[in-house]
Amino acid sequence: MIEVSKSLSDELVVVFGDKIAVSESVSGMVTVQVPVEQWLETAQTLRDDPRFAFNQLSDLCGVDYLGFGQVEWETTEATREGFSRGVEGMGPGRFDWQHRPESSHAEKRFGVVAHLLSTVHNMRLRMKTFASDEGLPIVPSLVEIWNCANWYEREAFDLYGVIFEGHPDLRRILTDYGFTGHPMRKDFPLIGNVTVRYDEEKGRVVYEPVEIEPRVLVPRVIRGDSSYKADDIDKAADEEAKSLASGTE
């Protein structure tokens, strides 16, 4: 796998030059970052050039990089118990719909990632690009190159609001027709904006305002700080005490 990845990286540089950025993960997966203007041309070459022959699109998804790299949880400075690990203030999604923040311009906020497979050469490749406009993210559709991109792109449109130019039937696929917003965006509230339930009297589904309050949940975080070292010391002391007690008996 590693040898294949190295040869693939070299071949990508030979064919595309500085038009794309080639990188390789620790696991050996090669990733190419493509300017959105070269998205279709690069995909076409990756499929048709016999040196690559990526004849299958195995996955495509959207990514929202709003708040990328920001810390939401305390670690070493937090206490061992309670909610002190929650960062003060509201992070991405932790607000109600009426008071949602207006995101400032974020360079390369919305990305699209495609995973390609060559059944001819038994190779995999990750290809990604970024929409140039955060307010109206537009990326060319890959449907004409890989037909299975149809539903993947509809999903990315539904969840992230990415417009796939040239898509034959770009409409929502997971949420309702009257759904407001795009639920996987970082500026979409985690509690949603409406409650959906079936009303027996009206005989239909009704939409109502959300009644729950936004809150910060504290995940279980495995850390190697002094708090966990203290736990290890206490555990060792308990085991030693039990050992001494059993020896006395």
CATH class of 2-66+103-187: alpha beta
**Lowest mean pLDDT, pick from 148-162, 201-215, 226-240:** 226-240
Q: Measure the CA–CA gap between 86 and 74, rounded to whole angstroms.
A: 6
Q: Measure the CA–CA gap between 19 and 175, rounded to whole angstroms.
A: 37
State the DSSP code for 247.
H
pLDDT category at 242 given cuts 50, 70, 90 is confident
State whether the Cα torsion 139-33-24-46 is positive or negative: positive
Please calculate the CA angle 40-42-45 and round it to the nearest 5 degrees.
110
Q: Say what the pLDDT of residue 168 is.
A: 97
Q: Measure the CA–CA gap between 43 and 40, rounded to whole angstroms.
A: 5
**Lowest mean pLDDT, pick from 28-32, 110-114, 161-165:** 28-32
Place of tokens 């400075």: 77
Do residues 70 and 91 make contact, with C-beta atoms less than 8 angstroms apart? yes
| Residue 233 one-letter amino acid | I
| Residue 35 one-letter amino acid | P
Q: Measure the CA–CA gap between 189 and 98, rounded to whole angstroms.
A: 10
- Tokens standing for 249? 């008996």
CB atoms within 10 A of CB 245: 9
Residue 177 has pLDDT above 80, yes or no: no
State the DSSP code for 162.
-
Place of tokens 């140039």: 132
pTM: 0.74
Residue 133's alpha-carbon distances to 13, 106, 111, in angstroms, are 28, 9, 11
Mean pLDDT, to the nearest integer, of 86-99? 56
Q: Measure the CA–CA gap between 91 and 217, rounded to whole angstroms.
A: 12
| Residue 141 one-letter amino acid | S
pLDDT category at 10 given cuts 50, 70, 90 is very high
